Amino acid sequence: MDPESALEGAFSSVTTKPAVTSAARRDDPTSRWLQQRVARVGWQKACVAMANKNARILWAVMTREQDFDARHVSVKPPGRCGQPATACQRQTCVA
């Protein structure tokens, strides 16, 4: 079996394909994110992105032993000097 058909078979059996293909009919934040991904990179890569997102959510819920919060927004921690991390990355950090 060539890699392309194996990958295609994996996509068809993954539960993210129905979520990707029906995202346009829903108006929740995840569906809007998914619609943007499909428009930018196509439905197959959007399936991979959704599976990755689901895996990261699952890992976070399991390791933190907290309930899932769909409205959670992650925030980058401050840099070494207390400035936002982006300032440290731009070399304006004085630490």
Per-residue pLDDT 10s for the chain (95 aa) are 445 554 454 444 456 777 777 888 888 888 888 899 999 999 889 988 988 988 888 888 889 888 888 787 777 776 666 666 555 555 555 55
User: For position 8, what pLDDT does the model report?
Assistant: 53
Task: Find all residues with CB under 8 Å of 34, minimum gap 6, and list them.
Answer: 19, 20, 23, 46, 49, 50
Token pair in block for residue 14: 């993954």
Please state, as a whole number, how many other Cβ atoms lie within 10 Å of the Cβ of residue 16.
Answer: 19
User: For position 6, what pLDDT does the model report?
Assistant: 47
User: For position 18, what pLDDT does the model report?
Assistant: 78
User: For position 1, what pLDDT does the model report?
Assistant: 44
